A and B are shown apart, each in its own frame.
Chain A
Amino acid sequence: MKKLLGCLVLAGFASGAAGAASSDRWIHIRVDDAGEAKGRVDIQVPVGLVSTLLPALQQSRGHGSIHIDGDSVDLAEIRSYWSAVREAKDGDYVTVRDEDSDVRVAKRGGYFTLTVDDKGGKSRVRMKVPLPLIDAVFDGGNTINFDAVGGALAKAPAGELLAVDDEDSHVRIWIDSEAAPARKDAR
Chain B
Amino acid sequence: MRSGERLALAVILGLCVLVGGTAGATAYAWHRAGSVRIAIHETGPDGSDFSMRLPGLLVNAAIALCPVPEDAELKAHLAEIAPALREVASRLATLPDVVFVDVENDAGTVRVEKSGADLVIRVVSPDERVEIAVPVESVRRLMRKFEA
Q: Is A60 an interface residue (CB 8 A)?
A: yes
Write the nearest CB–CB distance from B69 to chain A, whole angstroms: 18
A186 close to B84 (CB less than 8 A): no
B109 close to A187 (CB less than 8 A): yes
B99 close to A44 (CB less than 8 A): yes
Q: Is B65 an interface residue (CB 8 A)?
A: no
B104 close to A39 (CB less than 8 A): yes
Contacts of A140 in B (CB 8 A): none
B102 close to A56 (CB less than 8 A): no
B106 close to A37 (CB less than 8 A): yes
Interface size on B, residues (CB 8 A): 25
Q: How many A-B residue pairs have CB under 8 A?
A: 68
Contacts of A44 in B (CB 8 A): 98-100
A56 close to B80 (CB less than 8 A): yes
A179 close to B98 (CB less than 8 A): yes
Contacts of A183 in B (CB 8 A): 102
Interface size class of A (residues with CB under 8 A): 20 to 34
A59 close to B81 (CB less than 8 A): yes
Q: Is B103 an interface residue (CB 8 A)?
A: yes
Contacts of B98 in A (CB 8 A): 44, 179
Q: Is B101 an interface residue (CB 8 A)?
A: yes
Q: Is B9 an interface residue (CB 8 A)?
A: no
Tell me the residues in window 63-82 of chain B with beta carbons closer than 8 Å to chain A beta carbons: 77, 80-81
Interface residue from A39, A42, A60 paired with B81 (Cβ < 8 Å): A60
Contacts of A49 in B (CB 8 A): 88, 91
CB-CB nearest in chain B for A52: B87
Chain A interface SS verdict (over half) = mixed
Q: Is B124 an interface residue (CB 8 A)?
A: yes
Complex alpha-carbon distance, A79 and B123, angstroms: 42
Write the nearest CB–CB distance from A42 to chain B, whole angstroms: 4
Instruction: Mark interface residues in A16-37 (1 if CB within 8 Å of B CB, else 0).
Output: 0000010010000000010001
Complex alpha-carbon distance, A49 and B100, angstroms: 12
A37 close to B91 (CB less than 8 A): no
CB-CB nearest in chain A for B109: A187
Write the nearest CB–CB distance from B74 to chain A, whole angstroms: 13
Write the nearest CB–CB distance from A169 to chain B, whole angstroms: 12
Q: Is A130 an interface residue (CB 8 A)?
A: no
Q: Which 8 A-B pairs have the closest CB atoms?
A: A56-B84, A39-B105, A42-B102, A179-B98, A182-B99, A59-B80, A56-B81, A52-B87
Please give the residue numbers on chain A whose beta carbons come within 8 Å of chain B beta carbons, in ascending order. Answer: 21, 24, 33, 37-46, 48-49, 52-53, 55-56, 59-60, 179, 181-183, 186-187
Please give the residue numbers on chain B whose beta carbons come within 8 Å of chain A beta carbons, in ascending order. Answer: 77, 80-81, 83-85, 87-88, 91, 94-96, 98-106, 109, 111, 113, 124
